[in-house]
């Protein structure tokens, strides 16, 4: 029987992995316990688990209350502090969580660049489209617009720092594509088609019938998150409980694939000159 605290293993893995096992409150470096022994007091509901709780949403189903999107890791003191619902609204806590995960991702990128793990990107792409290349060397990429142009044109806000940071890895992806083309296989086409189809699916789910540019801009960050999460789920499904790649490393590489798709206009709209 599912309930508001019936967390799946995948939800816990994602929650602890993206937070790097740390409290999400700004400036707090307190580490949480591992995903199998964490106390529920550290896994906090953004919208309350039970009626009468902070930020209760009576229209939310229990399985959504227990899902990653409604959860945030906080140490007990900061869990208590966020009980102030006027100061810590749903929007404030979601932005807090997103900011913390972005900062943790940037730390991961700085500590473990791809040059130190040359097979990481190929390993992850292999899980998405059947690619198996051990090492890649940067190749130049020519875009008809800058990363800032596309971010601005599509009104991307929350994901802008990650896109700016990871766009520097486009050369790695481009080198992989060149290798595919030299070997005469269709892996490049397969991967880009997959990213594009995932984005089109996101448009249908998020935008509905109104797929105008204005509506795309309003939901730009939500569309990006949908694509990234979908690609990650494809990787998770193909890994099938294989833990050889840590969750945060998979997230790092999938983000690079997503950003490359963003720059190749498989995700969001191309800036008009």
C-alpha distance from residue 58 to each of 42, 62, 65, 91 (Å): 23, 10, 11, 17
State which of 37-51, 180-194, 220-234 shows the largest mean pLDDT.
220-234
* Residue 227 placed within a domain: yes
From 65, 100, 135, give the residue that closes a domain. Answer: 100
pTM of the model: 0.70
Could you tell me the two tokens for 101? 């995960």
In the prediction, which pLDDT does 201 show?
93
Question: Over the stretch 196-218, which tens digit does the pLDDT of each residue have?
Answer: 999 999 999 999 999 999 999 99
pLDDT at 2 over 80: no
Tens of pLDDT, residue by residue over 21-34, are 889 999 998 887 65
Residues 116 and 85 in one domain: no
234 lies in the same domain as 122 = yes
Residue-wise pLDDT for 69-102, tens only, equals 899 999 989 999 999 999 999 999 999 998 898 8
* Neighbouring residues of 74: CB distance < 8 A, sequence distance ≥ 6: 23, 24, 25, 42, 44, 82
Please check whether residues 118 and 96 belong to one and the same domain.
no
With respect to residue 123, please indicate whether it lies within any of the assigned structural domains.
yes
In a domain, 22, yes or no: yes
Question: In terms of domains, do 128 and 26 share one?
Answer: no
Number of domains comprising the chain: 2
Residue 106 lies in a domain: no
Query: The tokens of 243 are what?
Result: 């833990």
Average pLDDT (229-236) is: 80
Same domain? 143 vs 247? yes
Q: What is the pLDDT of residue 122?
A: 63
Question: What would the two tokens of residue 245 be?
Answer: 């790649």
Domain of 155?
112-263
Q: Which of 100, 121, 146 is the last residue of a domain?
A: 100
Instruction: Specify whether 22 is located in the same domain as 132.
Output: no
145 plus 226 within the same structural domain: yes
Please tell me whether residues 88 and 152 are part of one structural domain.
Answer: no
Residues 6+ apart with CB under 8 A from 230: 198, 201, 202
- Residue 160 lies inside a defined structural domain of this protein: yes
Confirm whether 1 is domain-assigned. Answer: no
Q: Are residues 81 and 118 in the same domain?
A: no
Q: Within a domain: residue 254?
A: yes
* Residue-level pLDDT at 134: 42
The verdict on 16 and 58 lying in the same domain is yes
Q: Regarding predicted confidence, which is higher, 188 or 247?
A: 188
Tens digits of residue pLDDT in 119-145: 556 666 665 555 443 455 667 677 778
The reply to whether 87 and 136 lie within a common domain is no
End-of-domain residue from the set 100, 135, 164: 100
Task: Please indicate, yes or no, if residue 174 is contained in any of the structural domains.
Answer: yes
């Amino acid at each position: 029987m599912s309930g508001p605290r019936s967390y799946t293993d995948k939800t816990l893995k994602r929650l602890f992995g993206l937070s790097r096992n740390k409290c999400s409150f700004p400036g707090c470096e307190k580490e949480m316990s591992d995903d199998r022994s964490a106390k529920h007091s550290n896994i906090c509901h953004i919208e309350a688990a039970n009626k009468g709780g902070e930020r209760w949403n009576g229209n939310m189903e229990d399985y959504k209350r227990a899902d990653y999107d409604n959860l945030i890791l906080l140490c007990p003191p900061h869990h208590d502090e966020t009980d102030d619902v006027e100061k810590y609204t749903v929007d404030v806590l979601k932005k807090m969580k997103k900011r913390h995960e972005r900062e943790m991702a940037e730390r991961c990128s700085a500590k473990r660049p791809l040059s130190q793990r040359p097979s990481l990107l190929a390993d992850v792409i292999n899980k998405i489209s059947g690619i198996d290349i051990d090492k890649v060397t940067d190749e130049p990429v020519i875009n008809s617009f800058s990363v800032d142009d596309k971010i601005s044109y599509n009104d991307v806000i929350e994901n802008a720092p990650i896109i700016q940071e990871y766009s520097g890895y486009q050369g790695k992806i481009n080198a992989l594509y060149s290798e595919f083309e030299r070997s005469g296989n269709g892996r490049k086409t397969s991967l880009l088609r997959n990213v594009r189809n995932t984005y089109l699916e996101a448009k249908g789910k998020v935008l509905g019938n109104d797929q105008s540019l204005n509506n795309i801009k309003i939901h730009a960050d939500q569309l990006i998150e949908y694509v990234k999460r979908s690609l990650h789920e494809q990787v998770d499904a193909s890994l099938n409980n294989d833990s050889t790649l840590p969750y945060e490393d998979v997230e790092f590489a999938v983000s690079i694939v997503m950003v490359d798709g963003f720059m190749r206009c498989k995700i969001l709209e191309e800036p008009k000159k």
